[in-house]
Amino acid sequence: MALVNAGVVVLDCAEPERLAEFYKELLDGRETDVTANRVEIEGAGGTRLAFRRDVNATPPSWPRPENSLQAHLDFLVDDLDEVERLIVGLGGRPLETRGADGPYEERGYADPAGHSFTLRQTPSTAPKQG
């Protein structure tokens, strides 16, 4: 069994509801998760995208270097500590390990080249034992 499963591409933006609506319509999709600062959709073909509120977001300037980073990857995991050890062993490094508000615990990392990504642990759906 894999330790890491592909998650969702997250686009940071000032108005996640508005951007989610655009992509929901474009991809004939539906909302799958909505919180105060994040909207996740799934397109008819299974494409999953999320839009996270960043009040300081600026439009991408690609290919110019200023403001060119506008997305990061989320990976869904069962065991944050185990996967963190794997990441560090492979040459990645922790960026942010504080807990997040809401139903998910997440931690930020950089890959060996410096690209950021997030591990998100979803709550267990198994019945509580004991």
Output the pLDDT for position 115: 75
State the pTM of this model: 0.62
Summarised one tens digit per residue, pLDDT across range 83-119 is 999 999 999 999 865 555 555 588 888 887 777 788 8
Rounded distance between C-alpha atoms, residue 5 and residue 36, angstroms: 25
pLDDT band at 42 (very low <50, low <70, confident <90, very high): very high
Output the pLDDT for position 12: 85
**Residue 114 C-beta-side C-alpha neighbours within 13 Å:** 1
Domain 4-55+69-121 has CATH 3.40.50.300: no
In angstroms, the Cα distances linking 4 to 17, 76, 84 are 28, 6, 11
